[in-house]
Structure formats: structure tokens, C-alpha cells
């Protein structure tokens, strides 16, 4: 009897345990369901803005001149990466735009400069030129462009693949390379401004056979003509206290006007400065890009369905103004004050047309710029100018003297020396030994700061310093046999205006602002690099990283 009682008790306990377990599972199931996480929360539109030649300090130096709705809104409502740098050289427009959107460096994506010497064809090539396509929107060869020299995908390409080509990509810039390289290989279209005697936006048959109606309407609106007007400072010039004097010897200015001082009558000067091309070198070049981008948002119905679209905008006129007038000019200050207004117009359009909570935007630059060296010299800062023709002549003479042979220099460009390997071989010389001998020779030349062989770039792993930046910019197939770096603030350029291209902070330190859906508010002084941008956007969208990406997602800018 006792046995039967114990058996009954055990059965009852087991039944109770089973009931509790099942109830617990139901409760747990309910709990899991309540905590379900949505991983596909993509924005309807991603906008990538590149401001050509924007140093980081343009954000801070002119901050008090900006309104509340442009740069300040991005800083105060978005995330500011204050210590953002390029992690390679050379810092030029083509490589910069490619790196921002592919998440890697020239070592991987192959755009080693704007122009470079091609070892296969023995000729100079342009990063976006393509003789296999035709111009669209013009009879001029300015439209014969495509991204065919870009070796890897962009995050816009990956978005197109992810959405089965239903998400659109549109690239826009004054410069062809500023429109083409960000948009990637699968873009629906890239448009750039053709000045000269036309003043219109064009494209190529790589993308489409004819311009869409909205583009034709824009081109027929005489928008370009409206910007051939007087360029004067937006505010009283006496309030432009963040820049140097308007009249100085460090600026080039426009042909047809004696001094590089305000005001500039663009209509009158256009006949001396390639017609509508003069607009590119003024803040109005940015304004027409903003106008066209706003038209594209409407014309392409961007952000109006459930498939994420990508709009890339490159403001290139900042670069033209910087090259012409320099970092410390009144012209550059006025250009950024006016650009702030154009960015505000774009943000307001996105708020209205797409919705404040439906788009994500980032803003960065493709490189910085050095202060005009002649100005630096005037305030006793080491700086100078490099004569590349004299450098090449001296090097050729040295080679002929040392090797008792004709010079085997094929090309010197982008701070790289390309050797004629056939001539070296025909003389029974060892390539690596010749490379090393030339490095040991040129390191003693004035204004040569560092020099390295291609062999060292290929066989040694540099993890820090300028050597690492050189290596990240080195393409084994496309780069030269010797790479060299000029002294700080020394440039191969005219003594008026400014340029870029070095591994120094003035060229590598650029803004990086994230804003909108999925982005937290805040800032960091933690170092970030340009290749981190594309993986961050891919992670935010939940799509594959660009196929050559070497950067890492910046998890601290993304909302959990």
C-alpha cells in the first residue's frame, strides 16, 4: 500500500512539473516574442555628401558664420568624428571619392590618382575616361566616362545587389569623377556639369542612352546662365575675420581681372575663363549642384518606396576655389558660408520629400589642403616649392653617369618614378638593386623627405607611420618603382593658390559627420579613417560590405 502511495505521489509531482515546464515555455515564448528585434530598419534614402578639399578646420573656423540649418544642424543633431583621416597617399580627388564609397584604399580599388602613367599602354590615363562609351547630353567628348577602372564595388553597388536592382543609385557632381566613382558600377545614372559654351549636366552611354525628361527640363531652364552674375561676399567683408586680407600676393584670381579681390563680375569674366566653366570656380558651382540634386530627388522619386535608394553628391567648387585662392582667402570663407546655405536647402528638401525619420546622410571630404607655402614662408613656417622638371633632369643625368647607359626613367608623376624594366634587364642590372640605388640617390635631394622602393612596399608590412600610408596607396600593378614624399608644406605647384596630395595632417584630416535615421547624437576624438564609412553604411543597411572593404563599421555612431 505504501508503495502504491509513493508511486501516486511521484506521478503527481511529475505531472505538476510537466505542467509548470509547459507553462514556463509558454511564458518564455511570449517573452521572446515581446523582445523581437527588427534587423531590417533601412532608411528609404542614403545621401553621401563629399565636399572637395574640405579641411576639418573649415568646420570649426567658420562655425560662427554658419546658420542653424546646415553644418551646425549636422553637428548638433548628428555624430561628429573629429579625428577622421585618410589612411593612404596620394590624397587626390579620384582616390578620395573611390575610398569613401568602397571602404578601402587605392591598394585595393586601384584608383591611385586622378591621372597616372599606365605601364601596359605606356601612356597617361585618366581615372574615369572610357573610349568605349559615348557622351549623352552633349556632342563633346566630356561625356566619354565610366567607372571601368574602379576594381571593387561601392556600398551603393551592394545596395543595388541586395534590393535586386530595385533600389536606385544616382551620382551628381561638377566633376565627372566626383559623380562616377561614388555611384559605383551599377548606378542608374551619374551626372556631371559640362561648362564651356554649354553649361549643362551630361552623362554617358555607360548608364543611359538619353537624358531623362527631368534632366532635360533642368538643362533647358537656363539655370547655369543665372549664375553668371557678380560674386561678392554674402556678408560685409569686414566681418570675415577668420581669413586673411583680400588683397595679397598668394592668390591667382581670374583671367581678365587684375587683382584677385572682390567683387568678380562672372558674366564679363566668363569670356576669358572658358565660358560657363568659371561657375565651377565659385560658390555658385555648389549652388547649381544643390539645385540639380533637389531636382533629382523629385525627378527620380528617391526615397519614395520600400527599397533603399542612394544619392551621392560631390560639391567640387570648394576645390576649384581652394586651388585658385588658397586656404586662408576671403574667397574660401565666403564659399563655405554659402555652401552652408546650400546644405540647408538639401536637408529641408529631404525633410519634406522623404521625411525626417526616413533618410540617413553622411558628409566628408576627399582630401584637405596645405596653406599656400609662400604665405607660410612669410610667417616663418618651413615651406617651399618643388621643381619636378629640374628633379627629373638631375636624376636622368645621375643615372647616365653612374650606369654608363641611357636613362631608364620612363615617367615621373604623383611622386612616383616608373623605370624602364626592359632597358634595365638588357644591361644585366638587378631591378631591386637599381630601385635601392635611386632611393639612396634622391633622398639627398632638396625637399625629398622620404623615399621607398616598390620592392619594399610589396615585401614589408608597415603598420604605422607614413610608410603605412604609402603602402595603402600602393597598387602593385599600377604604381611606380620608387615612391617619395616631399618635405612638409612643400608642393609641386604654382606660388599662388593651394594644392594637396601628401600624407601630412593638412591633407588627411577631414570632416566626417553622420546624420539621420539610425544615427545617434554625439561626437568622438577617437581616430577614424575614410575606409570606415562604407562598412558603417553597409552595417546600418544590413547589406554586404563592398567586396574589397578593409575599413571597419563605426558601431558607436549607430543606434542599437
For residue 263, cis peptide bond before it (omega within 30 degrees of 0)? yes
Band the pLDDT of 27: cuts 50, 70, 90. Answer: very low
Instruction: Quickly list H helices, 39-92.
Output: 57-61, 71-77
Is-catalytic flag, 138? no
Distances 139 to 155, 194, 211, 260 between C-alpha atoms, Å:
32, 11, 13, 34
pLDDT at 42 (0 to 100): 80
| pLDDT at residue 5 is higher than 90 | no
| pLDDT at residue 390 is higher than 60 | yes
Sign of the CA dihedral 301, 302, 308, 310?
positive
422-432 burial, b if ≥16 CB within 10 A, otherwise e?
A: ebbeeeebeee
Distances 194 to 22, 142, 256, 273, 278 between C-alpha atoms, Å:
72, 7, 22, 14, 11
Strand partners of residue 203? 136
Instruction: Quickly list H helices, 283-414.
Output: 283-299, 317-325, 330-353, 373-378, 388-403
Sign of the CA dihedral 89, 282, 325, 506?
negative
Taken in order of first residue, the domains within the chain and their CATH numbers are 45-377+502-557 (3.40.720.10), 387-446+448-486 (3.30.1360.150)
Closest CA to 54 of 346, 332, 280, 291: 332
Distance of alpha carbon 240 from alpha carbon 330, whole angstroms: 7
Phi, psi at 81, each rounded to 5°: -90, 100
Of the residues 91, 93, 233, 318, which is catalytic? 93
For the stretch 344-389, pLDDT in tens is 999 999 999 999 999 999 999 999 999 999 999 999 999 999 999 9
Tell me the mean pLDDT in the region 57-65.
98
pLDDT at 176 (0 to 100): 98
For the stretch 78-97, pLDDT in tens is 999 999 999 999 999 999 99
Band the pLDDT of 7: cuts 50, 70, 90. Answer: very low
- Angle, CA of 70, 71 and 72, to the nearest 5°: 90
Given a contact cutoff of 8 angstroms between Cβ atoms, the answer to whether 114 and 126 are in contact is: yes
Strand partners of residue 125? 116
For the stretch 428-467, pLDDT in tens is 999 999 999 999 999 999 999 999 999 999 999 999 999 9
pLDDT at 165 (0 to 100): 98
Distance of alpha carbon 182 from alpha carbon 127, whole angstroms: 13
How many of the other CB atoms lie within 10 Å of CB of 380?
7
Task: For residue 222, count CB atoms less than 10 angstroms from its CB and return exposed for 0-12, middle for 13-18, buried for 19 or more.
Answer: exposed
Q: What does pTM read for this prediction?
A: 0.92
pLDDT at 41 (0 to 100): 61
Amino acid at each position: 500500500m505504501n508503495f502504491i502511495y509513493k508511486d501516486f505521489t511521484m506521478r503527481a509531482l511529475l505531472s505538476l512539473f510537466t505542467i509548470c515546464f509547459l507553462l514556463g515555455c509558454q511564458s518564455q515564448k511570449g517573452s521572446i516574442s515581446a523582445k523581437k528585434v527588427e534587423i531590417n530598419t533601412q532608411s528609404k534614402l542614403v545621401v553621401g555628401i563629399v565636399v572637395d578639399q574640405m579641411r576639418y578646420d573649415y568646420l570649426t573656423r567658420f562655425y560662427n558664420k554658419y546658420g542653424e540649418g546646415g553644418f551646425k544642424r549636422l553637428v548638433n543633431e548628428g555624430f561628429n568624428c573629429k579625428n577622421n583621416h585618410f589612411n593612404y597617399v596620394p590624397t587626390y580627388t579620384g582616390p578620395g571619392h573611390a575610398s569613401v564609397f568602397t571602404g578601402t584604399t587605392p591598394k585595393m580599388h586601384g584608383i591611385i590618382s586622378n591621372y597616372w602613367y599606365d605601364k601596359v599602354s605606356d601612356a597617361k590615363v585618366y581615372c574615369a575616361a572610357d573610349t568605349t562609351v559615348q557622351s549623352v547630353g552633349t556632342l563633346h567628348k566630356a561625356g566619354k566616362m565610366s567607372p571601368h577602372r574602379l576594381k571593387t564595388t561601392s556600398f551603393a553597388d551592394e545596395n543595388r545587389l541586395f534590393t535586386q536592382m530595385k533600389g536606385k543609385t544616382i551620382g551628381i557632381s561638377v566633376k565627372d569623377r566626383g559623380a562616377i566613382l561614388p555611384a559605383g558600377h551599377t548606378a542608374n545614372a551619374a551626372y556631371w556639369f559640362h561648362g564651356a559654351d554649354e553649361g549643362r549636366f551630361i552623362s554617358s552611354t555607360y548608364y543611359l542612352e538619353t537624358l531623362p525628361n527631368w534632366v532635360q527640363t533642368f538643362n533647358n531652364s537656363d539655370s547655369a546662365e543665372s549664375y553668371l552674375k557678380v560674386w561678392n561676399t554674402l556678408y560685409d567683408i569686414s566681418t570675415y575675420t577668420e581669413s586673411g586680407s583680400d588683397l595679397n600676393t598668394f592668390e591667382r584670381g581670374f583671367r581678365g581681372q587684375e587683382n584677385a579681390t572682390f567683387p568678380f563680375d562672372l558674366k564679363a569674366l566668363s569670356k576669358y575663363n572658358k565660358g560657363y566653366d568659371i561657375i565651377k570656380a565659385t560658390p555658385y558651382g555648389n549652388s547649381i549642384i544643390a539645385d540639380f540634386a533637389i531636382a533629382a530627388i523629385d525627378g527620380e522619386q528617391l526615397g519614395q518606396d520600400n527599397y533603399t535608394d542612394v544619392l551621392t553628391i560631390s560639391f567640387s567648387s570648394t576645390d576649384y576655389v581652394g586651388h585658385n585662392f588658397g586656404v586662408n582667402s576671403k574667397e574660401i570663407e565666403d564659399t563655405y558660408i554659402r555652401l552652408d546655405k546650400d546644405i540647408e536647402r538639401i536637408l529641408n528638401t529631404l525633410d519634406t520629400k522623404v521625411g525626417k525619420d526616413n533618410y540617413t546622410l553622411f558628409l566628408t571630404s576627399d582630401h584637405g589642403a596645405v596653406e599656400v607655402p609662400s604665405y607660410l614662408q612669410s610667417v616663418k613656417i618651413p615651406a617651399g616649392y618643388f621643381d619636378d622638371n629640374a628633379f627629373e633632369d638631375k636624376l636622368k643625368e645621375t643615372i647616365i653617369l653612374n650606369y654608363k647607359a641611357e636613362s631608364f626613367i620612363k615617367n615621373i608623376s604623383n611622386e612616383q618614378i616608373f623605370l624602364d624594366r626592359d632597358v634595365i634587364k638588357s644591361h644585366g642590372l638587378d631591378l631591386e638593386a637599381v630601385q635601392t640605388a635611386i632611393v639612396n640617390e634622391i633622398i639627398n635631394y632638396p625637399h625629398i623627405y622620404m623615399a621607398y622602393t616598390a620592392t619594399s612596399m610589396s615585401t614589408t608590412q608597415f603598420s604605422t607611420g607614413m610608410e603605412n600610408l604609402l603602402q595603402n596607396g600602393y597598387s602593385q600593378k599600377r604604381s611606380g618603382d620608387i615612391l617619395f614624399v616631399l618635405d612638409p608644406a612643400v608642393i609641386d605647384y604654382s606660388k599662388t593658390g593651394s594644392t594637396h596630395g601628401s600624407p601630412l595632417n593638412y591633407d588627411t584630416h577631414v570632416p566626417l559627420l553622420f546624420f539621420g535615421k539610425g544615427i545617434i547624437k554625439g561626437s568622438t576624438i577617437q581616430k577614424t579613417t575614410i575606409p570606415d564609412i562604407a562598412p558603417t553604411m553597409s552595417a546600418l543597411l544590413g547589406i554586404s560590405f563592398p567586396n574589397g572593404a578593409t575599413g571597419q563599421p563605426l558601431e558607436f555612431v549607430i543606434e542599437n
